[in-house]
Chains A and B, each alone.
Chain A
Amino acid sequence: MPDVTHSLTAAHQLAYTYKRSLGPVLGRFFTGLRDKQIHGVRRADGKVFVPPREYDPETGDAMEEMVAVADAGVVVSWAWVKEPRPSQPLAKPFAYALIRLDDADTPLLHAVDAGSEAAMSTGMRVKARWIDEPAGAITDIACFEPG
């Protein structure tokens, strides 16, 4: 009789086993995060994209002029997550939000820790809460918080 108590199993982890360079625009953005600074890219007409894009979405022209922006801004839209999933930024109810940082023209998607849905509103001011040891990733900003 086959031993049915010992079925054949193997660990399967989906992962990329290589690293790649992010290039001058996103590279600058993520290096900046390591220093707790947020950078955008300025188009010729002055419009500042955060997060920076390498190419103008309208014309396809390269955009290279990096500018520092504030780590605080206003909520443009938000979604209230009552039951966070394990990999999401906060383990308790929070908001995903589009946040337009001061000095930027396009909003950034991130999480807001407001405590309750009632404390959330479009137009509210939020500021970044940085992790203690930033490593050059978008998760260097733990989340944004009111203020």
Chain B
Amino acid sequence: MRDVAVVAFTQAKSVRAERDLNETEILIPVIHDIKRGAGLETKDIDFVCSGSSDYLAGQSFAFVSGLDAIGAWPPVSESHVEMDGAWALYEAWVKIQTGHADTALVYGFGKPSMGDLSRTLALQLDPYCVVPLWPDAVSVAALQARLCLEGGVLSEREMAEVAVRDRGKGKSNPYAQVTGDFDVDALLAEPTFVSPLRRHDCSPISDGASAMIIAAGDRARDLAERPAWIRGLEHIVEPQDLGIRDLTTSRSTQIAADRAAVGKDKIDVAEVCGPFTHQSILVERALGLGESVDVNPSGGALSAHPLMAAGLTRIGEASKRIWDGSADRAVAHATSGPCLQQNLVCVLEGA
């Protein structure tokens, strides 16, 4: 295996609705900033891979317009996944492993404010048996939350504690969207939104984008003083049918974490992509995180959830902790699909 590291990361500020810029215009400054920051020109980048969803734009091949942020010249070798940018990172990592590239630019972007996101997300369910009923994303997550609550897997208080923790930490993240000091008892006194979920249990809807540069071996050492080496990278998917899966645990996260050897050594920092508070708890448990781990120093997905970029952003935020020396070993997580259907786990180390 080739040693590959994250050497640069940039993101746009997440906002509820970016009214003046389209998806590509959100992306352009992010791509410019990351290339300038890393001191790279397009000709220095061997491979480009992006993650986005045509469903958010309501238009086929909408992702192609994102390439305008890269520019038409010089020509690039590029690919796209209809997934969070974290899976674009996975493809770029594989590309470097094959020896066909030494550097790669990865980005994810999404502008969910163009539609009714909770409704759009129903389209990822079974097209024959479920989609005609249009269960929105919050309702689907609420079915999982109730199974967890009534099964004694977790409590409403623990869920509120996740919101308080993440949004408190998010205060120091200038790119976050919903942050501040909240009180668990006050949150629990709020009415339910889609019972059993309350508003604070749901991540915000965010327009945003993020970008990352990864590089192999000496190229990484040239580009970063302390590269964040990718020591484990795995993703596992579970069946689509909600009735088949055990929704009170995240089995795919657990398998990915085992294969990425998360538990091999002490973890200092974890960045978890939990679109809902109960899902964050399930993922944290599946990763086997101990008490001493600093979870979501960026504020996590509950502070900002730019769909299609939020998972890549977790990996970028974890990398920042390696670069600045505040962590020697970090784990980042990305998720996709209803009720944590698919999960990616990335272990980063400073040495």
**Inter-subunit contact B194/A80 (CB<8 Å):** yes
Q: What CA separation (Å) do A14 and B64 show in the bound complex?
A: 19
Contact mask for chain B residues 117-136; partner A; CB cutoff 8 A; 1 contact, 0 none: 00100000010111011111
The A contact surface, by secondary structure, is: mixed
Q: Across the interface, name the chain A residue whose C-beta is closest to B144.
A: A77
**Inter-subunit contact A97/B143 (CB<8 Å):** yes
Q: Does residue B243 face the partner (Cβ distance < 8 Å to A)?
A: yes
Which B residues are within 8 Å of any A CB, using their own CB? 58, 116, 119, 126, 128-130, 132-136, 138-140, 142-144, 146-147, 150, 192-197, 239, 241-244, 247
Q: Does residue A108 face the partner (Cβ distance < 8 Å to B)?
A: yes
**Inter-subunit contact B133/A109 (CB<8 Å):** yes
**Inter-subunit contact B192/A122 (CB<8 Å):** no
**Inter-subunit contact B130/A109 (CB<8 Å):** yes
Q: What CA separation (Å) do A109 and B194 show in the bound complex?
A: 16
**Inter-subunit contact B195/A26 (CB<8 Å):** no
Contacts A57-B244, A79-B143 given; does A85 touch B136 at CB 8 Å: yes
Q: What CA separation (Å) do A22 and B138 show in the bound complex?
A: 29
Q: A81-B136, A109-B130 are in contact. List 12 more A-B contacts (CB 8 A).
A: A26-B129, A49-B243, A53-B241, A77-B144, A77-B150, A79-B139, A79-B143, A82-B195, A88-B134, A89-B133, A89-B134, A96-B143
Q: Across the interface, name the chain B residue whose C-beta is closest to A87.
A: B134
20 intermolecular pairs with C-beta atoms under 8 Å apart: A14-B58, A49-B243, A50-B243, A77-B143, A77-B144, A79-B142, A79-B146, A79-B194, A79-B197, A80-B142, A80-B195, A85-B136, A88-B133, A89-B134, A96-B140, A97-B143, A106-B241, A108-B129, A110-B133, A138-B133
**Inter-subunit contact A139/B133 (CB<8 Å):** yes
- Which residues of chain B have C-beta atoms less than 8 A from A117's C-beta? 195
Contact mask for chain A residues 90-124; partner B; CB cutoff 8 A; 1 contact, 0 none: 00000011100000001111110000010000100
Q: How far is the CB of A16 from chain B (nearest CB, A)?
A: 10
- Which residues of chain A have C-beta atoms less than 8 A from B58's C-beta? 14
Q: How far is the CB of B106 from chain A (nearest CB, A)?
A: 29
Contact mask for chain A residues 37-72; partner B; CB cutoff 8 A; 1 contact, 0 none: 000000000000111010001000000000000000
Q: What CA separation (Å) do A45 and B243 show in the bound complex?
A: 18
**Inter-subunit contact A108/B243 (CB<8 Å):** yes
**Inter-subunit contact A30/B146 (CB<8 Å):** no
The bracket for how many chain A residues form the interface is 35 or more
**Inter-subunit contact B139/A96 (CB<8 Å):** yes
Q: What CA separation (Å) do A63 and B136 show in the bound complex?
A: 30
- Which residues of chain B have C-beta atoms less than 8 A from A139's C-beta? 132-133
- Which residues of chain B have C-beta atoms less than 8 A from A50's C-beta? 243
**Inter-subunit contact A138/B143 (CB<8 Å):** no
The B contact surface, by secondary structure, is: loop
Q: What CA separation (Å) do A142 and B340 show in the bound complex?
A: 28
Which A residues are within 8 Å of any B CB, using their own CB? 14, 22, 26, 29-30, 49-51, 53, 57, 76-82, 85, 87-89, 96-98, 106-111, 117, 122, 137-139
Q: Across the interface, name the chain B residue whose C-beta is closest to A14.
A: B58
Which residue from B128, B139, B146, B192 sits with its C-beta under 8 Å from A138?
B128
Q: How far is the CB of A17 from chain B (nearest CB, A)?
A: 14
Q: How far is the CB of B59 from chain A (nearest CB, A)?
A: 9
**Inter-subunit contact A106/B243 (CB<8 Å):** yes
Which residue from A26, A30, A57 sits with its C-beta under 8 Å from B241?
A57
**Inter-subunit contact A53/B146 (CB<8 Å):** no
- Which residues of chain A have C-beta atoms less than 8 A from B126's C-beta? 51
Q: How far is the CB of A18 from chain B (nearest CB, A)?
A: 14
Q: What CA separation (Å) do A78 and B140 show in the bound complex?
A: 9
**Inter-subunit contact B129/A138 (CB<8 Å):** yes
Q: Across the interface, name the chain A residue whose C-beta is closest to B148.
A: A77
- Which residues of chain A have C-beta atoms less than 8 A from B144's C-beta? 77
Q: What CA separation (Å) do A89 and B130 show in the bound complex?
A: 11
Q: What CA separation (Å) do A78 and B239 show in the bound complex?
A: 20
**Inter-subunit contact B128/A30 (CB<8 Å):** yes
Which residue from A57, A107, A122 sits with its C-beta under 8 Å from B239?
A57
Q: How far is the CB of A140 from chain B (nearest CB, A)?
A: 10
- Which residues of chain B have C-beta atoms less than 8 A from A98's C-beta? 143, 147, 242-243
Contacts A76-B147, A79-B143, A139-B133 given; does A22 touch B128 at CB 8 Å: yes
Q: How far is the CB of B202 from chain A (nearest CB, A)?
A: 12
- Which residues of chain B have C-beta atoms less than 8 A from A26's C-beta? 128-129
